[in-house]
């Protein structure tokens, strides 16, 4: 029997990359690889990259440089780069870092077995094409090992929106939706292995069209899986929040009251320059409709400050939007140019101005986030416990609002949805007290 080979994967960026890393590990697992937590004893190192942040490619080249000594000490070590930086840089990665053996884009990782065989023969392997075939049809079957209580499940990839700041249409391609029957089969398999909460993923997930009823139709069908307790989805575009999806937030018990709905700016002038194709007023109207359907919904968002041409008044419009909407959670970033995008050719806001704006915005968002957490004190929430905490007898899980909650509870509550009363608001979590015994698993 051949010796087991060890695989080290380092994942950067979004939840979709986390999912992709899992599938790549499973695909290479069929070739005899098992995962290791350290690069030092790996036979293959795979960096699954993200191209959203500033100087993403340079950071990956720097990371690769850290493995040079390891590669020298272990000539048989294979090093690969996957994901969006791989897609954007292609052969340039091998040119700049000749020790790299394999470069694979996010739409081609189903070809990893053939690529791995090629590098084992002493050749390099490069694939950054957008293949006609569906990669999910060619991936190895997921192993039957027991899973933790939560899982990501990609249902849609790519984006057709072409926001002026974003590289996703160029690195992930056009919008593609997985057929509902395949999503259902993968979801049922995950649930059979212990998963109780599934987060549906897509660069523009609410544009999903693999079900006749769109994303709402898929959610309702998933809700029929008996032991699936919770459903979430991310990330959404305001223009694709249709009536059926809004209604599902109000009527589907398994769809959690949390929604990530990026707006990016509160200025109509900047929204137009970003090519967002919505306005601040249309966003306000949409939020009102969603909250009418689900009044307790916790809203999350994304914001970019310092976009080219942003004035003080534009920034004040963003602060005004944040105050009017009220976010329980949000992510904010200083604009950084992505090569090849329309905005990259425009004059940037002075860095010190953008930094000051970001600091002011983050202070406001943090204030709102802390207020939302403090409002939970005294309330009863449903917590899906996921793992043991650092303290003896403590478990950690997530409420329906995606707040981290820790409480003293027996280990057999892991994987159970338990009623918890919130006792205290901590910096990044909530402390609670278990009120109910674990429910018996349904047959």
Binding residue ranges for [4Fe-4S] cluster? 14, 50, 84, 159, 163, 166
Write out residues in the chain with pLDDT < 70, as ranges: 1-3, 52-54, 130-145, 437-443
The torsion region of residue 415 among left (phi > 0), alpha (psi -120 to 50) and beta comes to: left
Angle 149-256-242 from CA coordinates, rounded to 5°? 130
Question: In angstroms, rounded to a whole number, what is the distance separating the alpha carbons of residues 441 and 175?
Answer: 38
Question: In angstroms, rounded to a whole number, what is the distance separating the alpha carbons of residues 120 and 77?
Answer: 10
Whole-number pLDDT of residue 442 = 43
Angle 62-67-72 from CA coordinates, rounded to 5°? 135
CA nearest neighbour of 171 among 354, 375, 20, 384: 20
The domains found in the chain, sorted by start residue, are: 5-127 (3.40.50.12160), 135-374 (3.80.30.20), 380-434 (2.40.50)
Tens of pLDDT along 400-432? 999 999 999 999 999 999 999 999 999 889 999
Whole-number pLDDT of residue 443 = 37
Tens of pLDDT along 115-132? 999 999 999 989 877 665
Beta-bridged to residue 421, according to DSSP, are 380, 433
Whole-number pLDDT of residue 144 = 61
Question: In angstroms, rounded to a whole number, what is the distance separating the alpha carbons of residues 103 and 81?
Answer: 5
What number of other Cβ atoms are within 10 A of residue 9's Cβ?
Answer: 22
**358, 306 Cβ separation under 8 angstroms:** yes
Tens of pLDDT along 348-394? 999 999 999 999 999 999 999 999 999 999 999 999 999 999 889 99
CA nearest neighbour of 236 among 258, 214, 259: 259
3-class SS string, 277-302? CCCHHHHHHHHHHHHHHCCCCEEEEE
> Residue for token digits 């916790």?
298
Binding residue ranges? 14, 50, 84, 159, 163, 166
Pairing of strands 394-399, 380-388: antiparallel
Whole-number pLDDT of residue 430 = 97
């Amino acid at each position: 029997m051949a010796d087991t080979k060890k695989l080290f994967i380092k994942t950067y960026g979004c939840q979709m990359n986390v999912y992709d890393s899992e599938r790549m590990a499973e695909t290479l697992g069929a070739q005899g690889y098992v995962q290791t937590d350290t690069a030092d004893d790996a036979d293959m190192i795979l960096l699954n990259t993200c191209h959203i942040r500033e100087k993403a490619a340079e950071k990956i080249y720097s990371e690769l440089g850290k493995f040079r000594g390891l590669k020298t000490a272990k000539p048989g070590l294979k090093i690969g780069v996957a994901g969006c930086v791989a897609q954007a840089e292609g052969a340039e990665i091998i040119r700049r870092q000749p020790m790299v053996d394999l470069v694979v884009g996010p739409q081609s990782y189903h070809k990893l077995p053939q690529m791995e065989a090629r590098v084992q023969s002493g050749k390099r392997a490069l694939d950054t094409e957008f293949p006609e075939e569906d990669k999910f049809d060619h991936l190895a079957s997921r192993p039957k090992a027991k899973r933790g209580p939560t899982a990501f499940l990609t249902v849609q990839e790519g984006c057709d929106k072409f926001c002026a700041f974003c590289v996703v249409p160029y690195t992930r391609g056009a919008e593609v939706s997985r057929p509902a029957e395949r999503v259902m089969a993968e979801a049922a398999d995950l649930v059979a292995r212990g998963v109780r909460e599934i987060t549906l993923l897509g660069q523009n997930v609410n544009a999903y069209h693999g079900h006749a009823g769109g994303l709402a139709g898929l959610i309702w069908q998933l809700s029929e899986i008996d032991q699936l307790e919770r459903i979430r989805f991310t990330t959404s575009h305001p223009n694709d929040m249709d009536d059926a999806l809004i209604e599902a937030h109000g009527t589907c018990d398994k769809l959690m009251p949390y929604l990530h709905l990026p707006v990016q700016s509160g200025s109509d002038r900047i929204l137009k320059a970003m090519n967002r194709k919505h306005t601040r007023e249309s966003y306000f109207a949409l939020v009102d409709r969603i909250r009418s359907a689900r009044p307790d919904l916790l809203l999350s968002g994304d914001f970019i400050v310092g976009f080219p041409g942003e004035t003080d008044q534009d920034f004040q419009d963003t602060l005004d939007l944040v105050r009017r909407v009220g976010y329980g959670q949000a992510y904010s970033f200083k604009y950084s140019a992505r090569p090849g995008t329309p905005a990259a050719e425009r004059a940037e806001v002075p860095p010190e101005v953008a930094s000051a704006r970001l600091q002011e915005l983050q202070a406001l968002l943090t204030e709102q986030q802390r207020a939302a957490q403090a409002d939970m004190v005294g309330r009863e929430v449903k917590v899906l416990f996921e793992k043991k905490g650092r303290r003896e007898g403590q478990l950690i899980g997530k409420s329906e609002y995606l707040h981290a909650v820790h409480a003293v509870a027996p280990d057999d509550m892991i994987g159970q949805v338990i009623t918890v009363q919130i006792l205290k608001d901590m910096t990044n979590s909530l402390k609670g007290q278990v009120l109910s015994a674990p429910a018996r698993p349904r047959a």
